[in-house]
């Protein structure tokens, strides 16, 4: 069995130069992937993770040998989410997933449409003609309001100023950082904010237990017999993972539309012709073909969950290459989505590659993961994006102000320093 190829000096120099020019490690990973292949090891002091990409490797990690791939209990994401469905394994994971899936099924989406549109309108009601807004920030506001209202029947509008910084701190807490190399690195400045977020969630749980039943995800957690701590874990999982991925998807989509005005115009025309001034919906005859293609292409180019970070519990073989037990493994959705073997012009924005539901090779397109642990909110997130984008383009014009952004590898893949757009109400 082979072990990872070493990185030659020229490749190392190119990777470093790319990382510096792009302002993100993604540039370096792309260089290593293109010059070394779909399996390599990053040789840093006290930190030497293996990186894999491509359809076969991803399938092995997500499906055929998924029992060998574990979360590391000392990682911040497991420390924060505790027993959340995202970071548990085996029977415990399956139990939580079973109790949560009914509220995220497509049959429930009609119940959420008006709430999603109302949350969107609530945020845009603060916009003024000609104002420059950061669509990364505005998308986060919309996504937070939606997840709290639809899944937990909580109107979070008045509490946004109170929970905004704690939520951003929680996201920062689980984002890649020095802790990956040194798990005991001091991390001051988080405890107060994370407690503030916990107090907010436990307060909601207490109030809800004293309230009458409602038809939402929260009720399913109560009916499943979960105690307050386990409900808190699932709430925080959906709050952080659910809104942060939607934030990234919406922000990147508006950046891509702003960068490709001809596609932007076609999409607005499609919406005008298909629904006009009527509210977008999840039912009826509305078939937003181009919008769906744009959302899929946005997820391909900038998958919110860009890389998976796990520990190997048993030796794994990737096309004759060995990853020994106990080693850290990164499986890259971002690199897999830009693999030239499966995608023509992989770095280009080309929504028509998804035209007419065109199929891709298995595991070439995995923005929501795959197998038994695929994202529980995948359908919800796509329906949300469709409704929010349609509503925004119905009611406002958007002009991209900052053309240059870079992909920041946080908890999700974010456009930094933001997506600044000049907005004006449509006449």
Give CATH for domain 1-70+306-359.
Answer: 3.30.43.20
Radius of gyration in angstroms for the set of CA atoms belonging to the chain, rounded to a whole number: 21
| Cβ partners under 8 Å of residue 244, min gap 6 | 140, 143, 171, 304, 411, 412
**Mean pLDDT in residue range 309-335:** 93
41 vs 121, residue with greater confidence: 121
| pLDDT recorded at residue 4 | 66
Do the two domains 1-70+306-359 and 71-305+367-425 of this chain adopt the same fold?
Answer: no
| Cβ partners under 8 Å of residue 345, min gap 6 | none
Instruction: Sort 285 into a burial class: Cβ within 10 Å, 0-12 / 13-18 / 19+.
Output: exposed
pLDDT class of 57 with cuts at 50, 70, 90: very high
Domain boundaries, the chain: 1-70+306-359, 71-305+367-425
The model's pLDDT over 158-192, given as tens digits with 9 standing for 90+, comes to 999 999 999 999 999 999 877 766 767 778 889 99
Determine the Cα–Cα distance for residues 359 and 408; give it in Å rounded to an integer.
Answer: 29
The model's pLDDT over 189-235, given as tens digits with 9 standing for 90+, comes to 899 999 999 999 999 999 999 998 999 999 999 999 999 999 999 99
> Is there a contact between 308 and 331 (Cβ–Cβ < 8 Å)?
yes
| pLDDT recorded at residue 145 | 98
197-206: burial string, b at 16+ Cβ within 10 Å, e else: beebbeebbe
Q: Where are the beta strands (DSSP E) in 107-265?
A: 131-134
Which pTM value belongs to this model? 0.95
- Averaged pLDDT score across all residues of the chain: 92
| 3-state secondary structure at position 308 | strand
Q: What are the C-alpha distances in Å from 418 to residues 88, 380, 400? A: 33, 25, 11
Q: What are the C-alpha distances in Å from 337 to residues 38, 107, 110, 297, 304? A: 12, 30, 31, 10, 12
Class of domain 71-305+367-425: mainly alpha
| pLDDT recorded at residue 187 | 81
The model's pLDDT over 79-105, given as tens digits with 9 standing for 90+, comes to 999 999 999 988 899 999 999 999 999
> Is there a contact between 388 and 102 (Cβ–Cβ < 8 Å)?
no
């Amino acid at each position: 069995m082979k072990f990872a190829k070493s990185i030659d000096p020229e490749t190392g120099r190119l990777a470093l130069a790319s990382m510096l020019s792009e302002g993100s490690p993604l540039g370096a990973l792309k260089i290593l992937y293109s010059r070394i292949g779909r399996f390599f090891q990053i040789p840093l002091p006290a930190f030497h993770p293996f990186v894999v990409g491509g359809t076969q490797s991803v399938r092995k990690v997500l499906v055929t040998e998924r029992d060998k791939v574990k979360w590391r209990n000392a990682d911040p994401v497991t420390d924060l989410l505790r027993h959340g469905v995202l970071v548990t394994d085996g029977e415990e994971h399956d139990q939580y997933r079973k109790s949560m899936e009914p509220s995220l099924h497509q049959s429930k989406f009609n119940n959420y449409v008006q709430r999603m549109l109302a949350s969107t309108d609530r945020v845009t009601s603060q916009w003024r003609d000609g104002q420059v807004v950061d669509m990364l920030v505005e998308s986060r506001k919309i996504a937070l309001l939606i997840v709290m209202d639809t899944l937990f029947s909580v109107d979070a509008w008045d509490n946004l100023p109170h929970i905004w910084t704690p939520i951003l701190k929680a996201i920062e807490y689980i984002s890649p950082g020095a802790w990956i190399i040194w798990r005991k690195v001091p991390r001051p400045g988080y405890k107060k904010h994370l407690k503030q977020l916990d107090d907010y969630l436990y307060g909601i749980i207490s109030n809800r237990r004293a309230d009458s039943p409602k038809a939402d995800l929260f009720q399913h957690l109560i009916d499943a017999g979960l105690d307050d701590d386990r409900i808190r874990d699932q709430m925080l999982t959906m709050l952080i993972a659910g809104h942060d991925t939607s934030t990234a998807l919406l922000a990147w989509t508006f950046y891509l539309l702003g960068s490709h005005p001809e596609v932007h115009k076609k999409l607005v025309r499609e919406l005008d012709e298909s629904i006009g001034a009527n509210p977008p919906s999840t039912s009826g005859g509305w078939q937003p073909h181009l919008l769906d293609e744009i959302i899929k292409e946005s997820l391909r180019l900038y998958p919110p969950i860009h890389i998976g970070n796990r520990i190997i519990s048993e030796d794994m073989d990737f096309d004759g290459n060995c990853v020994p037990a106990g080693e850290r493994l990164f499986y890259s959705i971002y690199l897999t989505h830009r693999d030239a073997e499966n995608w023509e012009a992989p770095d280009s924005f080309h929504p028509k590659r998804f035209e007419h539901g065109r199929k891709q090779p298995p595991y070439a397109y995995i923005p929501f993961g795959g197998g038994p642990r695929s994202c529980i909110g995948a359908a919800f997130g796509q329906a949300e994006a469709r409704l929010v984008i349609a509503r925004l383009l119905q009611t406002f014009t958007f002009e991209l102000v900052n053309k240059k952004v870079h992909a920041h590898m946080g908890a999700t893949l974010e456009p930094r320093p933001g997506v600044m757009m000049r907005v004006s109400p449509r006449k």
